[in-house]
Amino acid sequence: RMANTDLPPVLVEGETGTGKELVARALHFDGPRSKGPFIEFNCASIPSNLVESELFGHEKGAFTDAKDRRVGLVEAADGGTLFLDEIGEMDLLLKAKILKLLEDRTIRRVGSVKERKVNLRVISATNCNLEQMVQQ
């Protein structure tokens, strides 16, 4: 049993259909963050140019269709768990932003100059061989 603030990020690896999402849900709902939100995002489900806004949100006017300020999924998961499914499919530049989130627990909305602190646990899953991808 670990304190809520000491929970490390988790990577669940396995073939498609092996229950990676079930593992993530069990870690969340049986852990100290169970009363917080469980936000799930499939990194392969939308085009890579939209993923940043979806995860980190955006400010009004940040791009052509940004008519309002929008909170991203990372902020929506504050106090709970963010589950990033198919993390191996994510664009390399976005992985760098996820690394900053893991290291500093801060995010910056698209079009903003202000960083925001977030308190969440990140659980990721992949069916890719990440070590092999790094070597390539």
131 found inside a domain: no
Tens digits of residue pLDDT in 46-74: 988 789 889 998 777 667 777 787 889 99
Query: For residue 2, is pLDDT > 80?
Result: no
Residues 121 and 129: their CA atoms lie apart, in Å, by 23
Return the DSSP state at 125.
E
Question: What average pLDDT does the chain have?
Answer: 89
Grade residue 27 by pLDDT with cuts at 50, 70 and 90.
very high
108 found inside a domain: yes
* Domain around 22: 10-124
Tens digits of residue pLDDT in 77-115: 999 999 999 999 998 889 899 999 999 999 988 888 899
Burial of 26 (0-12, 13-18, 19+ CB in 10 A): exposed
44 found inside a domain: yes
Q: Look up the CATH number of the domain holding residue 42.
A: 3.40.50.300
93 found inside a domain: yes
Instruction: Give the chain's domain count.
Output: 1
84 found inside a domain: yes
